[in-house]
Structure 1
Amino acid sequence: MMKGPGALAGIRIVEFAGIGPAPFAGMMLADHGAEVIRVERPGAVIDRTDVLARSRRIVALDLKSAEGVAQARALCREADGVIEGYRPGVLERLGLGPELLLADNPKLVIGRMTGWGQQGPLAHAAGHDINYIALTGALNAYGRKGEKPTPPINMVGDFGGGGMMLAFGMLAGLLNVRNGGEGQVIDCAMIDGASLLMSMIWGFRAQGIWQDERGTNYLDTGAYFYDTYETADGKHVAIGSIEPQFYAVLRERLGIADDPAFNPQNDREGWDALRNRLAAIFHTRTREEWCALLEGSDACFAPVLDYDEAPRHPHIAGRRGFVELDGVVQPAPAPRFSRTPAVTPHAPQPHGESR
């Protein structure tokens, strides 16, 4: 990992400590050079294995005391942005509501991360990623044909539609201020973000090329040429040979180029039968043998690697896609900048420090 000031050098963010998506946004901002000051409660123990807490300066404040609130307001007065992941109204009850903070600092960008949003009938209800993506229709798309919806862990609501959307919102708000605008509040709701991530699928539905029944489409395991297969050694490989030219390479490498059964690639009626044919073929060799035959070709192939294998793969290792901090292997900052490379991350501190 190269050392550098980062593209966000000079930006100061105050992060009120939480879990999941808001810390992920803070991590992304810190990775790229922002000074992120994480406000923790006194006595909080910071686990050095908490990847999402890396590269922060920790400040321990008792936000239930007048002194702690005053110190937090002072931090926000000197900051460019604030991020928090409390339920609606909590920040206000602490005496740190957006109206007060913006009165102190009119250029402040305040990012508020919630599941349901700051307003609406469910705004004050508890929930998790699985609930947010269920309400948006996204969860209905994940799973195989004839089976119940399967949540893709918490990638869609918490991180894709939540933390990453919050990081984008913060940067947009900060850029607006740099261009002469005023500070503002960003209502970042995971239901909004999860819906936005499904934009292409909504477009496909409108075009009549996406069926509502899950597991019957090109990208949801419906297509036999976009799926995973078990190999002879009990491991798995993934293929995504959608385009005709890539599908042709797959057929040639698998020895089925002259089999007429595989000619009507887009005939959905034959997908299940051809999936069984491919399953039998992939089960004849080990994953390593399939890698030797297919990896690096235009068949759109990759082995399905586990957590120990992924960082050691030659391509990922060659790009230094993972770093190790105090014995904890974790993804390196992304994306890559040519002139302002990301700051080398450091492990979170074990204990809060007082300001």
Structure 2
Amino acid sequence: MTATTGPLAGVRVLDMTRLAPGPYASMLLADLGADVIVIGGGRSGLPVPAVSRGKEFISLDLKTADGRQALRTLVSEVDVFMEGFRPRVADRLGAGYAELSALNPGLVYCSVTGYGQSGPMAQRAGHDINYLAIGGALGTFGPSDQPPVPPLNLVADFAGGGLLSAFGIVAALYDRTRTGKGRYIDSAMVDGVLSMMGMNFADWQTPTLPGRGRGVLAGSMPFYRCYCCSDGRYVAVGALEVAFFERLWTTLDLGVVPDHFDQSTWDLIEKSLTAAFEKKTMAEWTAVFADVDACVTPVLEPHELSTFDQIATRDPEFSLDSVPVVPVFSDGPKRRVTDTRVKTEEVLRRAGLPEDSAHRAAAGGTPPSVTGLSWPPL
């Protein structure tokens, strides 16, 4: 599995997380060259292909002595261990930080949970929408006269959980080059949401963000929102700055350019832009603004991305089941293969376990496909 390219080539990761945040974090590490082994078994569920690129999958029965010994053998040779259980569950499985770091003092150990390892909600289950709600983000999303609307599970799960966990792991690996010691990382999705909301918290209940659905970036200002085209599709307008707004207004041939920061002009601006964009299709407006620096873009649907010039030029291999490796580094790394087959005995024999021990440690092949949806898992 060792990657020949990538800034994390040679880094070895054991991942016992599931659902979205942890697997996304370990895929980011794998994309950058790390060797990632995912440990399943019991109630862990089937791998999700969309976040499985560049990984190997095994299934261990940690209720047996052979399964725990296999885990210890693997941990002794890796750099990173990830788990997503509720607090103290990993300890009961023989996979807690104290036990594993004693075995491997250089181990970077990352616990990925919704609410973190402490606090009155630490043992509670939840999903992205709950972490957004507790973190103060959901209360700012959506129109002011309707219920809050979560932006899929991008903010808490993938950004606050997955991306920031990967960031923490890389930081701890760098720190280890100076100290020789590993770190424990308590990565909570609520914490990630709080961190990302810092600028918006500072603007809360000010003219910049007076309330949910209102404010500069909330979609209520007529020069920062979406407009419907003649075919029912939308364009996104982000003409905040004076130069961009002037180009928008003159390209649409709407006459004298108003002062768009004067709130008394907003009704005129909204009605004018609404009427103008209703005259052409989204594709026609895309062509009109292709060479106009006015921050006007089509609102693309996922199936259209691979044929859109910007996406196709940056990433000719893009498809909905093959998203890019990010960020882009000089000289790679390139995409790695997605293979979700369970290879328990192969991986354990490679780690030095005898064939009979590897066989006994395996948790019966492919994990069950039906699991509970609570996060973190029990």
* Both proteins in one fold, TM over 0.5: yes
Q: Is there any run of 5+ residues in structure 2 with no aligned partner, and where?
A: 349-378
- Per the normalisation by structure 1, the TM-score is 0.91
Aligned to 2:202: 203
Unaligned stretches of 5+ in structure 1?
none
Could you list the per-position Cα deviations for residues 246-270 of structure 1 after superposition, in whole angstroms to 9, with x for gaps in the alignment?
11110111112x33xx512123354
Quote the offset at 1:152 in angstroms. Answer: 0.8
Runs of 4+ in 1 over 6 A off after TM superposition: 42-45
Of 289, 296, 300 in structure 2, the residue corresponding to residue 294 of structure 1 is: 289
Using the alignment, how far apart are the partners of 2:59 and 2:316 within structure 1? 32
SS at match of 1:229: strand
- The CA deviation at 1:57 is 1.5
* Residue 346 (structure 1) aligns with: 337
Residues of 2 paired with 1:70 and 1:203: CA distance? 50
Say whether 1:332 aligns with 2:289.
no
Q: Show the counterpart of 2:357.
A: none
2:167 match = 168
The DSSP-based 3-state class of the residue aligned with 1:295 is coil
Q: Contact conserved, 2:49 with 2:340, CA < 8 A, in 1?
A: no
Q: 1:237 to 1:172 in 2, by over 3 A?
A: same
Supply the AA of the counterpart residue of 1:244: V
How many equivalent residue pairs?
344
Q: CA separation of 1:202/1:42 partners in 2, compared to 1, >3 Å: closer, same or farther?
A: closer
> Deviation of residue 322 (structure 1)?
4.9
Deviations 1:124-176 (A, max 9, x none): 01111111111111111111232221111111100111100000000011110
Partner Cα distance (1:176, 1:199) in 2: 26
Contact in 2 for aligned 1:39/1:58 (Cα 8 Å): yes
Query: Which whole-Å CA distance do the structure 2 matches of 1:271 and 1:144 have between them?
Result: 17
User: Does the 8 Å CA contact 1:231/1:237 hold for their aligned counterparts?
Assistant: yes
Check whether the contact 1:4–1:343 (CA below 8 A) recurs between aligned residues: no
- 1:1-355 aligned at under 5 Å gives the runs 5-41=5-41, 46=46, 50-205=49-204, 208-256=206-254, 258-259=255-256, 263-320=258-315, 322-323=317-318, 329-339=321-331, 341-354=332-345, 355=348
Q: Please list the CA deviations of residues 208-260 of structure 1 after superposition, one character each: whole Å capped at 9, or x if unmatched.
A: 4423312221111011111111110111111101111111110111112x33x
Distance 1:318 1:183, change over 3 A: same
The verdict on how the C-alpha distance between 1:202 and 1:77 changes in structure 2, with shifts beyond 3 A counting, is: same
Identity %: 36
By how many angstroms is 1:42 displaced? Answer: 7.3
Greater Cα offset, 232-241 or 272-281: 272-281
| DSSP 3-state at the match of 1:330 | coil
TM-score between both structures, scaled by the size of structure 2: 0.86
Distance of aligned partners of 1:343 and 1:4 in 2 relative to their CA distance in 1, 3 Å threshold: farther
Mean Cα deviation higher: 268-277 or 130-139: 268-277
Q: Deviations over 1:300-322 (max 9, x none)?
A: 11111111101211111011165
The separation in 1 between residues aligned to 2:9 and 2:180, in whole angstroms, is: 20
**Distance in 1, Cα, partners of 2:45 & 2:141:** 37
Distance 1:181 1:276, change over 3 A: farther
Q: Could you tell me which residue of structure 1 aligns to residue 360 of structure 2?
A: none
After superposition, the CA RMSD in angstroms is 2.0
Deviations 1:165-199 (A, max 9, x none): 00000001111001224212100000100011112
- For the 8 Å contact 2:106–2:181, the answer to whether it is kept is yes
CA distance in 2, matches of 1:95, 1:46: 22
Does structure 2 conserve the Cα–Cα contact (< 8 Å) formed by 1:9 and 1:33?
yes
- Answer whether contact 1:45 1:352 (CA < 8 A) is retained: no
The answer on whether the counterparts of 1:46 and 1:348 sit within 8 Å (CA) in structure 2 is no
- TM-superposed CA distance for 1:344, in Å, is 2.2
